[in-house]
Amino acid sequence: MIIDMFLLAAIIGLLTYWFFFRKKKEEVPDFTKIQPTTTTSTSEGSFIDKMKKTGRNIVVFYGSQTGTAEEFGNRLAKDAHRYGMRGMSADPEEYDLSDLSRLTEIEKSLAVFCMATYGEGDPTDNAQDFYDWLQETDANLAGIKYAVFGLGNKTYEHFNAMGKYVDKRLEELGGQRIFELGLGDDDGNLEEDFITWREQFWPAVCEHFGVEATGDESSIRQYELVIYEDINMNKVYTGEMGRLKSYENQKPPFDAKNPFLAPVTVNRKLNQGGDRHFMHLELDIAGSKIRYESGDHIAVYPANEASLVNQLGKILGADLDMVISLNNLDEESNKKHPFPCPTTYRSALTYYLDITNPPRTNVLYELAQYATDANEQEKLRKMASSSAEGKSLYLSWVVEARRNILAILQDTPSLRPPIDHLCELLPRLQARYYSIASTSKVQPNSVHICAVVVEYETKTGRVNKGVATNWLKNKHPNENGHKSTVPMYVRKSQFRLPFKSATPVIMIGPGTGIAPFIGFIQERGWLKQQGKEVGETVLYYGCRHHNEDYLYKDELAKFLKEGALTQLNVAFSRDQPQKIYVQHLLKKNKENIWKLIHEGNCHIYVCGDARNMARDVLNTFYEIVAEFGKMSQQQSVDYVKKLMTKGRYSLDIWS
């Protein structure tokens, strides 16, 4: 026993000696060098210190998902010089917003917030931390002057929720609103809403701070052009979103700034006839460490059509393969370039810039100076003005006619701006989001997309094509012996199956709105195979014709046969004289619907068109609840709203 204890002590002693005196390179790091965290911001993370250093007194924060709020924020920051003030735009993700209470340290200071609402009343990804801080903080913002412009869409239930919340919360914390909340509606004319708000906002700023417009309406370049005559092409960006050569040397984790190049393994047409093209794509994510759940979204980075890029180069007389950089003239700015540089004009116009959407009025205003014909210059300036006539002309000639920048140049022969200035002005080409049409329970190494190709004729007789869907349509496996790839990442969603598999689900998704439900049904079928108790799985699907665009027809029949799907209701809207939509089938089965809601505690999911379908479906649920719950109209509305709050009525909709 004593010997055993002696041996044990010796072993412990040797281990202790080894631990403390082993080779230096294996030593435990000296943690004492790490400073304790404090609430005081460093100069690098403090927008207040940056404003002081650069002589700014207006900061414009933007919460942006698709780039529009960022664009509006940049325009407001740029406007400031016309009023003898200096502005900077800022991404709230890059700064400590608790510094907001220090804004009074700067004379005549103002914080402006351009806040987009994403999904169902949610903050954008880059504004999530700011939103969390606002909810938790009890900071004293007395003396802080602010204004808010919200970007939303009236077809959504929670119209401009983020803008409204920021405006209200800043006031609750003691901030002083110096101009009324602006509510932009993307279902109407977001650009006009912004211009109308902006033209009243600046006079209010002038009045509040006792300043006057300088009268300087001249265009100010934000970036300077640098041309590279002789450069190592390994140092030139060719479409990467973040790290140079990241597409050649892929490293996880993959996200918006580091997308994964997923090989396309399947690209097939889903519809049997008709003039539209529905497609199903499968992307291989094996080895990427990308994880996804049913209901998540896949974001893809598309490329503009080569013919459009070539036509732009030709009309502007530019060498598209010239290697350039656009460098920010403000050396203190976090945004050194408008897109990854150095690159070629061809790469910029193909991968980084939006050349297919109608340009906003600020682009027309800046370009007008290059029109050599007086009438054409006047027309461009008028469309960029805040006059009723100008707004009307912009709406009809640009927005409703869907003129992109190429069409504007073609229809304005004297307008030939320098290509570098055009590249400075055009907004960034954004990622496109699609509801994932698969489940990782069945396909852990594959993400599926269901989409319809966008193509239409404009009022000018031109054919406009959707950037991403046409690009995806041409992505075929093993193109000319090469793997066809798609830059992508996964965005998490709140659109989730119930935690308990025994809970019944009602899914409503006409057209491509069926996408997430293919994943849901696959997952419910998989759970059943695992021996789990699975509740009723009910689908309401709709399309135009049974023999033309009945998507996933065979798969749905198989799901039904195997019991993964317990009820399939399909509305063929144009197979009979009077149109039948999903809401009509819901009304037809209203008794069963009420039973699933009231007794079964089911979860309801709606995916697809926000403008008409989602609203009509919601009204149908109000009617069913009112009739069978014996409630008034207002009581039924409150009942369904409560379902939404509890996560029992979920939406994944778009307009």
- Name residues whose C-beta falls within 8 Å of residue 383's C-beta, 6 or more positions apart in sequence: 361, 364, 390, 393, 394, 397, 398
Q: Which residues contact 564 (CB under 8 A, 6 or more apart)?
A: 521, 522, 524, 525, 528, 537
Question: Would you report the helix, strand and coil content of the chain in percent, each value rounded to 5?
Answer: 40, 20, 40
153 known ligand binder: yes
Consult the annotation and say whether 32 binds a ligand: no
Spatial contact of 376 and 414, defined as CB atoms under 8 Å apart: yes
First to last CA, the chain: 80
Beta strands 455-457 and 463-465 are antiparallel
Contact predicate 300/436, CB 8 Å:
no
CA torsion sign for 169, 172, 178, 181 is positive
Residue 193 labelled as part of a binding site: no
> Phi and psi at residue 314, in whole multiples of 5°?
-65, -45
| Residue 186 assigned to a binding site | yes
- Report the sign of the C-alpha dihedral through residues 627, 631, 635, 639, in that order: negative
Which of 601, 622, 425, 423 is CA-nearest to residue 506?
A: 601
65 marked among binding-site residues: yes
> CB under 8 Å to 57, separation ≥6 — which residues?
51, 85, 86, 87, 106, 107, 108, 109, 110
> According to the 3-state scheme, what is the secondary structure of 527-544?
HHHCCCCCCCEEEEEEEC
- Tell me if residue 594 falls in helix, strand or coil: helix
Residue type, 360: R
Please tell me whether 242 is known to bind a ligand. Answer: no
pLDDT the model gives residue 478: 81
Residue 565: half-sphere exposure toward Cβ, Cα within 13 Å: 23
160 is in an annotated binding site: yes
Among residues 484, 333, 354, 501, the alpha carbon closest in space to that of 428 is found at 354
Reduced to 3 states, what is the DSSP secondary structure of residue 490? Answer: strand
pLDDT at 1: 40
Token code pair at residue 42? 């460093």
Q: Which active-site residues does the annotation give?
A: 435, 607, 652, 654
Q: What CA–CA distance (Å, rounded) separates 269 from 262?
A: 20
10-residue averages of pLDDT along the chain (655 residues): 42 42 31 30 69 95 95 94 92 95 96 93 94 96 97 92 98 98 94 95 95 76 94 97 96 96 97 95 98 97 98 98 96 90 98 97 96 98 94 96 98 98 97 97 98 97 97 90 93 95 98 98 98 98 96 98 97 95 98 97 96 95 97 97 96 90
- Distance of alpha carbon 290 from alpha carbon 490, whole angstroms: 8
277 is an annotated ligand-binding site residue? no
Instruction: Please indicate if the annotation marks 412 as binding a ligand.
Output: no
88: left (phi over 0), alpha (psi -120 to 50) or beta: beta
Q: What is the pLDDT of residue 30?
A: 29
Distance CA 601, CA 249 (A): 49
